[in-house]
């Protein structure tokens, strides 16, 4: 007999929405920011509940500041129209880099000129909470204010709600070096003031890339001219304490004649990393890759395995782990001698190409493809989005394609159009929507200046817009529970078409209600409700399967959740 007490759970939340708040995604994208002057350099991360956070640089106030907006699964900008400022310090804040904070918000790093008159550019970082409230010092935390210029900021999660930020640094006055800094979840700098030196060899070390090493530290790669006139790709691992773990100034990924440039990193799923870069050892640029263990030992052919050695140039690879110890690599390809097309290849954990030699064509449309990015489709494949010039000069559009794990394009040949609005759409960024599709953002010139737009593409390649004009959306929407499974707390995101009372009930598998919490307040777009893994008496709920039932306006939605300790 089940002896658990049946608790009268009734979480009453009064949600208030403006009539237009249920507008959904629209053809050619939802405007996230159309403020005066220029909005550019967007970065996007998933918020963990089907939506995304987008950060950008914004000069609506006469110099560039950092703004952030959140968009839900229905395409509704969740915060103040045109975004919330994360930093509005003097002079320019530019070149956005962003990662999730692990709690539904984002950590954003940027190049900062607030002390430009005396100190050149610096590196700052800020955290925007899931509620749209900046979490750290006003206008961000200084990570590096060393003399001269710090530029080319990149960022990775530290796995503990903080981040590791990497940049190129001119403090020594002769050439660029690579430095890094870690900041914790509370905005407190963790390493040596102004950053840890990653590479300070002669000549330039530049164009860094960084990913988490899964142990609180990071893998960092860069373009290195220490062997000038040749230039090589180098890498280093730094611990969570800020100690470089491999040889001083990094290991060479490929010391070959010519140029090895633009290394891009992904985790290998076994504590190491996989790098891809473009390489001119044979004359024109080709794409090469190397896997490196956690101890800095190359796992594949010395100087890397060829990914594509087709005619003419293949350049600027970008990549994503395939979830099986291998990697998806995509690049811009000039093999036809006419314009830049988009190609991709998959390597397994042994470095063996899995698709057609020299890669599969993702898009070969006329005019060229560029500004591309990719994300997982959640089913062993990838979704790529890019800027596309097939319609002619000054008419750049946004396209996307889904490619299966076997290399087969899933959508229309040469991709589906996500935005065909007038003039330019460029600087495309993409993240998974957690449901097999993706949310894509870009810089858009359909208006008088540059704005920020976004759209959602579904797993079948259709853009997530209403199927008929004037169709009335459901009165209630609820996200999946996130995270799921969870140990202590999770949340569910709710939206209603008009102000109505909402009841949430949590049940165990025996059908007994187990939790009662009351929320009050009004919101303008969406409400995130925290779910605690305790019963009404404050006792921890046992591990197992539970159900969250949401009721409003005569509708009911049930979401499954798992408590696991």
Among the ranges given (11-15, 16-20, 465-469), the one the predictor scored with the smallest mean pLDDT: 16-20
**Does residue 454 belong to any structural domain of this protein?**
no
Among the ranges given (86-90, 391-395, 400-404, 405-409), the one the predictor scored with the smallest mean pLDDT: 391-395
Confidence category of residue 486, pLDDT binned at 50, 70, 90 = confident
Tell me, what's the pLDDT at 465?
79
pLDDT digits (tens, 9 = 90+) for 112-140: 999 876 668 999 999 999 999 999 999 99
With a pLDDT cut of 90, the percent of the chain lying above it is: 72
The domain boundary, picked from 204, 230, 255, lies at 255
**Does residue 442 belong to any structural domain of this protein?**
no
Mean pLDDT (the chain) is 90
* Average pLDDT of the segment spanning 10-30: 58
* Average pLDDT of the segment spanning 60-74: 95
| pLDDT higher than 70, residue 522 | no
φ/ψ of 23, rounded to 5, equals -70, -15
Measured distance CA(305)–CA(303) in Å, rounded: 7
φ/ψ of 73, rounded to 5, equals -60, -25
Q: In CATH, what number is assigned to the domain containing residue 496?
A: 2.60.40.1930
The domain tally of the chain equals 2
- The answer for residues whose C-beta is within 8 angstroms of residue 204's C-beta and 6 or more apart is 168, 175, 176, 223, 224, 225
Q: Specify whether the CB–CB gap between 113 and 149 falls below 8 A.
A: no
Tell me, what's the pLDDT at 313?
98
Among the ranges given (181-185, 205-209, 229-233, 401-405), the one the predictor scored with the smallest mean pLDDT: 229-233
Q: Specify whether the CB–CB gap between 218 and 210 falls below 8 A.
A: yes
Got the DSSP string for 441-507?
A: EEEE-SSSS-EEEEEEE-TTS-B---SSTTPPPPSEEEPPPBSSSBSSEEEEEEEESS-EEEEEEEE
Range of the domain at 222: 59-255
**Does residue 351 belong to any structural domain of this protein?**
no
* Average pLDDT of the segment spanning 161-187: 96
The domain boundary, picked from 220, 255, 290, lies at 255
Tell me, what's the pLDDT at 526?
61
Among the ranges given (15-29, 209-223, 319-333), the one the predictor scored with the smallest mean pLDDT: 15-29
* Average pLDDT of the segment spanning 16-33: 69
Report the candidate in 505, 516, 520 with the shortest Cα–Cα distance to residue 561: 505
Q: Specify whether the CB–CB gap between 447 and 424 falls below 8 A.
A: no
Calculate Rg over the CA atoms of the chain: 24
Report the candidate in 362, 370, 361 with the shortest Cα–Cα distance to residue 389: 370
Measured distance CA(90)–CA(37) in Å, rounded: 17
pLDDT digits (tens, 9 = 90+) for 174-183: 899 999 999 9
* Average pLDDT of the segment spanning 316-320: 98
**Does residue 534 belong to any structural domain of this protein?**
yes
The domain boundary, picked from 234, 255, 276, lies at 255
């Amino acid at each position: 007999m089940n002896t658990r007490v049946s608790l009268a759970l009734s979480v009453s939340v009064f949600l208030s929405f403006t009539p237009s708040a249920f507008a959904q995604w629209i053809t050619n994208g939802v405007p996230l920011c159309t403020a005066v002057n220029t909005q550019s350099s967007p970065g996007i991360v998933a918020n963990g509940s089907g939506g995304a956070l987008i950060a950008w640089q914004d000069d609506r106030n006469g110099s560039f500041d950092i703004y952030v907006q959140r968009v839900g699964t229905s395409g509704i900008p969740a915060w103040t129209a045109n975004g919330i400022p994360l930093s509005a310090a003097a002079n320019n804040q530019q070149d956005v880099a962003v990662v999730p904070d692990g709690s539904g918000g984002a950590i954003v790093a940027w190049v900062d000129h607030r002390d430009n008159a005396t100190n050149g550019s610096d590196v700052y970082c800020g955290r925007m909470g899931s509620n749209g409230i900046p979490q750290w010092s006003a206008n961000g935390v200084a990570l590096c204010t060393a003399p001269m210029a710090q530029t080319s900021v990149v960022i990775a999660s530290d796995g503990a709600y903080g981040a590791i930020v990497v940049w190129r640094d001119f403090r020594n006055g002769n050439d660029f070096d690579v430095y890094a800094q870690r900041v914790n979840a509370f905005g407190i700098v963790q390493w040596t003031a102004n950053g840890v030196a990653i590479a300070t060899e002669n000549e330039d070390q530049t164009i860094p890339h960084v990913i988490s090493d899964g142990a609180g530290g990071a893998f960092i790669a860069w373009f290195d001219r220490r062997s000038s006139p040749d230039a090589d790709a180098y890498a280093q691992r730094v611990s969570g304490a800020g100690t470089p773990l491999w040889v001083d100034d990094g290991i060479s990924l490929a010391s070959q004649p010519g140029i090895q440039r633009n290394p891009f990193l992904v985790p290998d799923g076994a504590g190491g990393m996989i790098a891809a870069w473009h390489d001119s050892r044979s004359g024109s640029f080709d794409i090469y890759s190397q896997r490196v263990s956690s101890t800095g030992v190359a796992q594949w052919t010395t100087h890397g395995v060829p990914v594509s050695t087709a005619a003419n140039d293949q350049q600027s690879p970008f990549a994503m782990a395939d979830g099986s110890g291998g990697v998806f690599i995509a690049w811009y390809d000039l093999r036809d001698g006419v314009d830049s097309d988009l190609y991709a290849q998959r390597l397994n954990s042994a470095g063996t190409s899995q698709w057609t030699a020299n890669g599969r064509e993702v898009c070969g449309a006329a005019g060229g493809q560029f500004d591309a990015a990719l994300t997982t489709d959640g089913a062993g494949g990838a979704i790529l989005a890019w800027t596309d010039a097939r319609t002619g000069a000054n008419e750049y559009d946004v396209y996307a394609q889904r490619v299966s794990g076997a290399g087969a394009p899933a959508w229309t040949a040469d991709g589906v159009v996500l935005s065909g609005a007038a003039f330019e759409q460029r600087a495309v960024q993409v993240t998974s929507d957690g449901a097999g599709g993706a949310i894509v953002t870009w810089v858009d010139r359909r208006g008088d200046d540059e704005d920020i737009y976004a759209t959602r593409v579904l797993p079948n390649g259709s853009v997530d817009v209403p199927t008929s004009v004037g169709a009335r959306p459901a009165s209630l929407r609820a996200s999946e529970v996130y995270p799921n499974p969870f140990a202590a707390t999770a949340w569910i995101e709710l939206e209603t078409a008009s102000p109505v009372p909402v009841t949430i009930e949590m049940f165990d598998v025996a059908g007994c209600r187990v939790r009662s919490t009351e929320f009050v307040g009004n919101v303008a777009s969406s409400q995130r409700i925290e779910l605690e893994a305790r019963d009404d008496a404050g006792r921890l709920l046992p591990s197992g399967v539970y159900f969250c039932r949401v009721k409003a306006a005569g509708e009911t939605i049930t979401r499954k959740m798992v408590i696991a300790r």
